[in-house]
Amino acid sequence: MNETRIRPGALAMLVWIGLMLTAAGAVRAQEFPSSADVTFFAPVGGGNCSFKEIPLEVSPFLRVAAVGTPLYAGSEPCGRFIEIDTTGASCAAPPCEFTGDRVVVMISDQLVSSAPDLDLSEVAFAEIAHVDEGVLHDVRWRYVPGTHLGDIELHNTEGSDPFFIHFVLKKHNLGISEVSVRDSVDPTWHVAARDSANQWSVDTGQAFQAPLSIQITDLTGRTVTAIAAVGSLAPSAVFDLGVQVGAPAVVPTGLSAAFVMALASAALGSDAIRRGRG
């Protein structure tokens, strides 16, 4: 029986091929699964997600959105990015004056609405339609990875102390499903609770000892850990966690069979591919 010898690094390459195919398939499957009515608001600053005003140098400056109460769901989508597409959309007073097809915004606030509507910052709205339109109907949207450069930041909030850890996470490129905290003495990970203002807190009845380690799980189930990254429990202290959440790199959805075969051939050797057996 012929034996296939996998070259050094071949296993890693095959895993990479699998991730790329999975990512490409996910992109095709997702498309634009949701639609909503879209309005705009001004000025931009603050919001229920506790991000405060987003600085000029931080993406997506002025391109933010408030989402209706059904979507806000107790702050779960805070910090997530959505891509909005006007293909097939209409407006309240035709003829509609669209200025562009798509815009990407970050969710930073809650819109008090019984419908899953979107309220864009005026800057973002103007990228897809003239502001005089006021309301757009049947606008397609989908969640997409964020555009933040660098790492997730942890901002201690007012009221934080060794007995009650209270913080906001900013600049994450995917939605966050769970956060856990561990101090420098106790090896136990304590799951944080998230409130409707997107603030995470932990209260165990005992004092935490800095530095703290933070474990973050994104909505894909991937977990990243920042070891001893939070050096102070003082209110308003800010820390770069040195980690980021994100989806696997996405390849073009038209990934050809020839390209995949070339990658596999490089990993296993062309003879093994031709034989078709291991």
Question: Which of the two residues, 46 and 200, has the higher pLDDT score?
Answer: 200
Is pLDDT above 80 for 229?
Answer: yes
* CATH number, position 75: 2.40.40.10
Q: What is the pLDDT of residue 30?
A: 54
Which residue, 151, 167, 148, 170, is CA-closest to 58?
148
Percent helix, strand, coil in the chain, to 5, is 20, 30, 50
In the chain, the percentage of residues whose pLDDT exceeds 90 is 62
**Which residue would you say has higher pLDDT here, 258 or 49?**
49
Same domain, 99 and 131: yes
- Which of 90, 110, 144 delimits the end of a domain? 144
Q: Could you report the per-residue pLDDT of 64-114, keeping only the tens digit for each?
A: 999 999 999 999 999 999 999 999 999 988 889 999 899 999 999 999 887
Average pLDDT, the chain: 81
pLDDT of residue 14: 42
Give per-residue pLDDT as tens, 148-190: 989 999 999 998 999 999 999 999 999 999 999 999 999 999 9
pTM: predicted TM-score of the whole model, two decimal places: 0.77
**Total count of domains within the chain:** 3
pLDDT in tens, 232-252: 999 999 999 999 997 443 433
- 96, 127, 144 - which closes a domain: 144
Question: Both 49 and 16 in a single domain?
Answer: no
Q: How confident is the model at residue 28 (pLDDT cuts 50, 70, 90)?
A: very low
Q: Phi and psi of 77, rounded to 5°?
A: -90, 5
The residue range of the domain holding 24 is 10-28+250-275
Other residues' Cβ atoms within 10 Å of the Cβ of residue 103? 25
Same-domain check for residues 101 and 179: no
**Please, which pLDDT band fits residue 1 given cuts at 50, 70 and 90?**
very low
pLDDT at 257 over 80: no
Task: Give the chain's end-to-end CA distance (angstroms, integer).
Answer: 10
Q: Are residues 159 and 111 in the same domain?
A: no
Please check whether residue 59 lies inside any domain of the structure: yes
Is residue 185 domain-shared with residue 127, that is, in the same domain? no
Residues 102 and 174 in one domain: no
Nearest to 144 by CA among 30, 29, 65: 30
